Structure 1
């Protein structure tokens, strides 16, 4: 069953709606092909979602060299990965290229690739035009950020999920869900754009940052307990925001995000 009504009613899924609404059932391989080459890798090859058993190369190598993304059938995690490829195609291609730049047979992993994987799975793009609001997030002043500045969400700051694991978790959300942010400074007019236009602009900017090797380690990505975002959880009262097991206090260490230097 394809829960289209559910997706329409849930704010976090807005970036994916233009593509979700094109399906009447859980998408199969042929359904993805019908969409056409929405995304391409940095070699210009069209992205196709294919059975994992059809591939003989490492996951990122298959994408980089052939444009083939291993996608398990009837699997929410992989389905959302494909949808994010549709919504943020340039940035997804940039992440693949980043993996390839830092991949060697002797040292397949490292801090850069760990950060890229972390953001790919549970990242949130955080457009903002007010430095003070970003500082509240950096300082873990959650009640101020989410309650005192509730009306600023969608006007001066917002969060768009890039990580496909976030989308999967939000099918059945539970307290504890936390993402990793990539703050991107925008102008105030940005928030007057449609969600599709916002995604397109952020996709261009984020891809450029990734291509410029601004992502170096996981600690650059500040945490965001995203169920606190106004409209992302059913009951957001004082007791909810007072839960320090979820809205944790700031640890005393210096944090540098990719686009924010202390």
Structure 2
């Protein structure tokens, strides 16, 4: 998330206007956007009206939701150029509650996740800030911050009530997961995209688009819950895991997201999964 966030990056109103056309390209019929559609449509309208209007809308929602960031500061959104010189992006959010936000799709989806999964976003911010406090800002992030950033940018929650499906995912068992167990999707497993960079990529979907799956064990009755209750469940249990122990990049399993049943028309044919450049063979020697 911190890429190009330094104070040396200058974002003028004209530059924001140049990128605003990307907001019009969001297709709310995409199934992976269903959880954020209602708020997202309002934000999209505001973003197309202009950067100031967009930030005002985000802040109205943040005030109404009374959400907080990693160190309990009230959540707010500020223009990117308001990030003080020399300040780190994650550290500034933790210390002030203010999220530097550009007028682009990447930050649009980042802000969306603050509302869809507020406890997870706060936990990630707290852990990132701890790392910055301990190690400072250097030429490299270090393993823990790399993993936290990977999670923030590209994570997909694989909610699973059947351990065999988690094993198929970890073991690159694509035919099992997507063809043989196709009926399990929506009843024993599902995917929910969290990573905002991944959501940005999926505005223009392509077959090789791959997320980093974080397996979330859920009870069978999870699948009888409505969308809001499912998100709340994941928000709670994943944030607890993030707060309890450090993570590293080996905790993830690759998931080609357009392979998820119901997410892409072409995957109705089993032949879709024969493309080994996307659905690669492999074997994991350890669990997540």
* TM-score with structure 1 setting the length: 0.91
Q: CA deviation at 1:105?
A: 2.1
| Alignment match, 1:225 | 256
Does 2:16 match 1:16?
A: no
> Which has the larger displacement, 96-105 or 152-161?
96-105
Is the Cα contact below 8 Å between 2:43 and 2:58 reproduced in 1? no
Is the Cα contact below 8 Å between 2:69 and 2:97 reproduced in 1? yes
Give secondary structure in 1 for the equivalent of 2:188.
coil
What CA distance in whole angstroms lies between the structure 1 residues aligned with 2:44 and 2:240? Answer: 34
| Alignment match, 1:78 | 107
Residue of 34, 57, 74 corresponding to 1:31: 57
Give secondary structure in 2 for the equivalent of 1:171.
coil
| Alignment match, 2:50 | none
Is the Cα contact below 8 Å between 2:70 and 2:124 reproduced in 1? no
Gaps of 5+ in 1: 258-262
What CA distance in whole angstroms lies between the structure 1 residues aligned with 2:251 and 2:79? Answer: 34
| Alignment match, 1:60 | 90
Q: Which has the higher helix share?
A: 2
| Alignment match, 1:149 | 181
Q: CA deviation at 1:5?
A: 8.6
Report how many residues are paired: 253
What CA distance in whole angstroms lies between the structure 2 residues aligned with 1:256 and 1:150? Answer: 22
Q: CA deviation at 1:15?
A: 2.2
| Alignment match, 1:50 | 78
Q: CA deviation at 1:145?
A: 0.4
What CA distance in whole angstroms lies between the structure 2 residues aligned with 1:89 and 1:4? Answer: 26
Q: CA deviation at 1:226?
A: 1.0
Is the Cα contact below 8 Å between 1:19 and 1:86 reproduced in 2? no
What CA distance in whole angstroms lies between the structure 1 residues aligned with 2:46 and 2:157? Answer: 26
- Two-structure CA RMSD over aligned residues (Å): 1.8
Structure-to-structure mapping, 1:1-262, within 5 angstroms: 6-7=27-28, 9-23=29-43, 25-27=45-47, 28-37=54-63, 38=65, 39-56=67-84, 57-73=87-103, 75-103=104-132, 104-105=135-136, 109-215=141-247, 217-236=248-267, 237-251=269-283, 253-257=284-288
Q: CA deviation at 1:172?
A: 0.7
| Alignment match, 2:16 | none
> Which has the larger displacement, 38-47 or 78-87?
38-47
Q: CA 1:5/1:106 → structure 2, altered by over 3 Å: closer, same or farther? A: closer
Q: CA deviation at 1:49?
A: 1.5
What CA distance in whole angstroms lies between the structure 1 residues aligned with 2:205 and 2:27? Answer: 13
Q: CA deviation at 1:204?
A: 0.9
> Which has the larger displacement, 78-87 or 34-43?
34-43
CA displacement, residues 196-224 of structure 1 (integer Å, 9 cap, x when unaligned):
11111110111110000241x10111111
Which runs of at least 4 in structure 1 moved beyond 3 Å after TM superposition? 1-5, 21-24
Q: CA deviation at 1:3?
A: 5.3
Is the Cα contact below 8 Å between 1:29 and 1:49 reproduced in 2? yes
Is the Cα contact below 8 Å between 1:127 and 1:157 reproduced in 2? yes
Give secondary structure in 2 for the equivalent of 1:33.
helix
